[in-house]
A = this chain, B = another copy of it.
Amino acid sequence: MDIGNETGRAADNVVAMLEAKIVSGELEDQTPLPAERELMEQFGASRTVIREAISQLSSRGLIETRPRFRPIVRKPDYATVLHACGNVVQHLLTDKTGIKNLYDSRVFIERALVREAALSARKDDIVSLREALEENRKAIPDSNEFYRTDVAFHGVLYRIPRNPIFPAMHEGYTSWLAPQWDRMLRSPERNEVNYLAHKSILDAILERDPVAAEEALNNHLKAAWEFVRVTFDWGDE
């Protein structure tokens, strides 16, 4: 196919060079990029290609751009990458089907996660889960706080495999699905139900019962979906 050795587009070269400077640390993380007019001198290119390169780096998540500000260097990490993917993924969430697919995949993953937790959670994992659940319980009266601790509880599950990809996936799920969830009614009563669901999940994990844990989580997430479904008056799935 393509060898990619030829000069091709000039912007690509600039991208590659800046990319190298970012990953090597020559351009420090969290620091602003040099001014465009300085970069064009540095690379011997016109401002056109410099801006093109900046645009590409931005869409790759290597720098963070705000409308009238200097781009900020961001050394790539899993969260950044996932966030950059968000712009792309969003096109698939315009209809109910897309959202359902994403949610179903989350259920699938999380079922496997709680299985894993029940089978091989370590002591400190258990401690984290207990703490997260307790925070969740205390937040029942405050729906906003409850939402936060809800997400945090599930987040603990994603950290158990100790693979940074999973927390990133969790970040993706919550941020991509958030637009729908935010529009959902919340109430202390509803929070109570969800808290109890979390508790039953943790109980099953504590009993080292993967089947019960998986089932508890499945019931929890299915019920949550059912709730948004009727909230938005979507037809049956």
Q: A9-B67, A59-B60, A161-B104 are in contact. Are A81 and B89 (CB under 8 A)?
A: yes
- Contact stretch, chosen from A28-36, A108-116, A121-129, A201-209: A108-116
Q: A55-B56, A104-B161, A163-B105 are in contact. Are A8 and B91 (CB under 8 A)?
A: no
Report the Cα distance A164→B67, complex, angstroms. 35
* Nearest opposing residue in chain B for A112, CB measure: B112
A112 touches B101 (CB 8 A): no
**Within the complex, what minimum Cβ distance (angstroms) separates A50 from chain B?**
13
Copies of this chain in the oligomer: 2
Does A227 belong to the interface (CB within 8 Å)? no
Does A5 belong to the interface (CB within 8 Å)? no
A78 touches B92 (CB 8 A): yes
**Within the complex, what minimum Cβ distance (angstroms) separates A68 from chain B?**
9
Does A166 belong to the interface (CB within 8 Å)? yes
A60 touches B76 (CB 8 A): no
* Nearest opposing residue in chain B for A169, CB measure: B105
User: Interface size bucket, A side?
Assistant: 35 or more
**Within the complex, what minimum Cβ distance (angstroms) separates A102 from chain B?**
7
* Nearest opposing residue in chain B for A87, CB measure: B60
A91 touches B81 (CB 8 A): yes
In the complex, chain A residues 71-90 whose Cβ is within 8 Å of any chain B Cβ: 76-78, 81, 84-85, 87-89
Knowing that A104-B161, A108-B116 are A-B contacts, what are 14 other residue pairs whose CB atoms are under 8 Å apart, sorted by A's residue number?
Answer: A48-B48, A51-B52, A55-B59, A56-B59, A62-B91, A76-B88, A81-B85, A81-B89, A81-B92, A85-B88, A85-B89, A104-B163, A105-B165, A112-B115
Provide a sorted-by-A list of 18 A–B residue pairs whose CB atoms are within 8 angstroms: A23-B91, A23-B94, A52-B55, A55-B55, A55-B56, A60-B87, A62-B91, A76-B92, A77-B92, A78-B92, A81-B85, A81-B88, A81-B89, A105-B163, A108-B161, A108-B163, A111-B112, A112-B112
